[in-house]
Structure 1
């Protein structure tokens, strides 16, 4: 038996068509181990950018496979908004963000403050603040700075840290959490 129906619709195509309705019924496993607990068979990421006015609500992974066009759209969304420079966003970072969002059990989208940063943008930010790393993982497309109106910095940081998959920075004074796919570590208050 092949995966193509007599109508010419593949199994993957059929899943894509029904993904939006299936997301509400997708199982979550809040007590499972690993950083993707709660990921289910479908992974979704919702964000908006106050800098560009753009919004995204994207299913980017179905049953073990990343959806190439969805990942491309997420990469564009997370570009350096100051320069429009684009760098591929590491899939591990996207997974950490999605898993943390699931663990927080919220429906509101993340506010994306910073995704990829060009060297020019990073240098400019470093000149204005001592809190910007010279070799920031934002330069590699491996980090995001995020905010949720309905959750505290502590709640977001705990969710991200429970993934045990990368760095988590608490920036309570600026009301955001940094998530990255680098070494497991945490900082801030």
Structure 2
């Protein structure tokens, strides 16, 4: 498996515009005692990952790396760091629904090659998808009605929410707030 650095993690340095990958932030924006847990089941690879990604105000790099692995582009076997705001959105979604159930993942990170292939087959796939930047995930929860999952995601107002009832999932991302 390879790990790529997503474009959102690039920083311009100096007059030459040298780009370098940033390291995942070590400390969360809030310094609160406690922990935040998430669980994922990748429906394509049948892999599961559960863990506390945030403990006492600090993101847990090992857990985030494990999450990135299970959320990887399974077609290319490429993983990329996912946006920490996406984990926060999913955590808030669980809290809003009052569940601790794992998310069934239809699509997490997508390499540009995979995204281009999917976009060529469907108008529902954006050519500049947030999936390629580790800022989006397509999910379902078997014990939660899809319409309830959608409404809970919309109520958070933390990014985009797409509804795909015929395919059995919703899309959430950390881009601008919008609905489709």
124-133 or 101-110: which moved more? 101-110
CA distance in 2, matches of 1:42, 1:159: 22
Q: Secondary structure of 1:46's match?
A: strand
CA distance in 1, matches of 2:156, 2:58: 20
How many aligned residue pairs are there?
149
Q: Secondary structure of 2:163's match?
A: strand
CA distance in 2, matches of 1:146, 1:40: 29
User: Aligned pair 1:113/2:109, yes or no?
Assistant: no
Unmatched 5+ residue regions in structure 2? 1-31
User: Aligned pair 1:44/2:37, yes or no?
Assistant: yes
CA distance in 1, matches of 2:112, 2:104: 23
C-alpha displacement at 1:102, in angstroms? 2.1
Q: Who is 2:119 aligned against?
A: 126
User: Aligned pair 1:101/2:94, yes or no?
Assistant: yes
Q: Secondary structure of 2:166's match?
A: coil
C-alpha displacement at 1:40, in angstroms? 8.3
Contact 2:33 2:57 in 1 (8 A): no
Structure with the higher fraction of residues in helix conformation: 1
TM-score (structure 2 length as normaliser): 0.78
Contact 2:73 2:109 in 1 (8 A): yes
CA RMSD of aligned residues (A): 1.5
Contact 2:38 2:100 in 1 (8 A): no
C-alpha displacement at 1:47, in angstroms? 1.2
Q: Secondary structure of 1:100's match?
A: helix
User: Aligned pair 1:77/2:62, yes or no?
Assistant: no
Q: Who is 2:29 aligned against?
A: none
Q: Secondary structure of 1:178's match?
A: strand
Which aligned runs of 4 or more in structure 1 are off by greater than 6 angstroms? none
Unmatched 5+ residue regions in structure 1? 1-38
C-alpha displacement at 1:170, in angstroms? 0.9
Q: Per-residue CA shift, 1:21-63, capped at 9, x if unaligned? A: xxxxxxxxxxxxxxxxxx9831111111121111111110012
Contact 2:108 2:131 in 1 (8 A): yes
